[in-house]
Amino acid sequence: MEVARLSFAERIRGARVTAVRLGKPLRWPLGCSGDSLLGQVIGEVGRRGKYLWLPLERGGLLMHLGMSGSLAFADGFAPPGAHDHFDLVTTRGTLRLTDPRRFGAAIWSPGLDSGPAARLLSALGLEPFDPAFTGAYLHAELRRRRAAVKLALLSGEIVVGAGNIYACEALFAAGIDPRTRSQLISLPRCEKLAIAVRDTLGRALALGGSTLRDFRDAHGISGRFQNETRVYGREGQPCAACGSRVRRIVQAQRASYFCPRCQHR
């Protein structure tokens, strides 16, 4: 979502809303009439976890891409297709949400700390680049959980942004087996893991994110991080560090990739 935000945030800031088009219902209703947004100026686009926040003069729009959604921002589009469910037309271009599965959302909220936004964001953990996201913080949070560390990272309740690919890569960089019980990980290992999470996500941002199926930024450009993974998607291939075969297991219906020699419980 940070890649998507960066791809259009500067262009849409200061734009005035001129029209709103709603297609088929998304995961949650807009929560206001489209006409009530007309004439309002868009402020600095923010992000919290996998949600984007478009502040308006009165409230703002909280947007989520669901499992298969994408955002595009352009001066003009072809007429909306079957999967184009939300258009925010502005004086600087149109922001279009496309989502074949309709798990995404565009929701009006009176603020980030009230209404739907407050409810949806309340359970999210720290941002990975927040100075408070330290090894000590991670250690304290993991000590309260019995789940495997990979699942704890994916939950978003400790740190946001560490999706499946990035969690696999960060655990490899930290030398931690994804099956390790969270509460058993020592403070020194948590310090390594916190650094690995930040480094992995920083590298992903520099490469434009990861494209496996549907992801594009608002320019329509695919990410490249998936081409440089060290374990993710490399089942049976030699580990880049030791030459052992990379393994694949399933945890909570998500594939986990790891090196059985480099990563320890």
CATH number of the domain at 64, please: 3.20.190.10
Do 28 and 115 lie in a common domain? yes
Write the DSSP string, 145-178. Answer: --SBHHHHHHTSSSBSS--HHHHHHHHHHHTB-T
- pLDDT digits over 186-234, tens only? 999 999 999 999 999 998 888 765 444 443 444 443 456 667 899 999 9
Do 139 and 254 lie in a common domain? yes
> Does 204 map to a domain?
yes
Do 86 and 145 lie in a common domain? no
Do 28 and 96 lie in a common domain? yes
- pLDDT digits over 13-71, tens only? 999 999 999 999 999 999 999 999 999 999 999 999 889 999 999 999 999 998 889 99
Structural domain containing residue 101? 2-121
Parallel, antiparallel, or unpaired: how do β-strands 17-22 and 84-90 relate? Answer: antiparallel
Domain end point (choices 99, 121, 143): 121
The pLDDT value recorded for residue 209 is 52
- pLDDT digits over 134-175, tens only? 999 999 999 999 999 999 999 999 999 898 999 999 999 999
> Does 126 map to a domain?
no
> Does 52 map to a domain?
yes
Do 14 and 115 lie in a common domain? yes
CATH of the domain at 204: 1.10.8.50
Do 106 and 141 lie in a common domain? no
> Does 75 map to a domain?
yes
The pLDDT value recorded for residue 68 is 83
* Residues 78-85, mean pLDDT to the nearest whole number: 94
Do 173 and 148 lie in a common domain? yes
Do 154 and 93 lie in a common domain? no
Do 112 and 43 lie in a common domain? yes
Where residue 250 falls among pLDDT bands split at 50, 70, 90? very high
> Does 168 map to a domain?
yes
> Does 264 map to a domain?
no
DSSP state, residue 37 = G
The pLDDT value recorded for residue 216 is 44
Domain end point (choices 60, 90, 121): 121
> Does 153 map to a domain?
yes
Do 153 and 207 lie in a common domain? yes
Do 159 and 225 lie in a common domain? yes
Domains: count for the chain: 2
Domain end point (choices 92, 121, 150): 121
Do 167 and 198 lie in a common domain? yes
Of 209, 118, 201, which Cα lies nearest the Cα of 161? 201
> Does 265 map to a domain?
no
Q: Which residues contact 123 (CB under 8 A, 6 or more apart)?
A: 156, 157
Residues in the chain, total:
265
Half-sphere exposure of 177 (CA within 13 A, CB side): 10
Residue type, 22: L
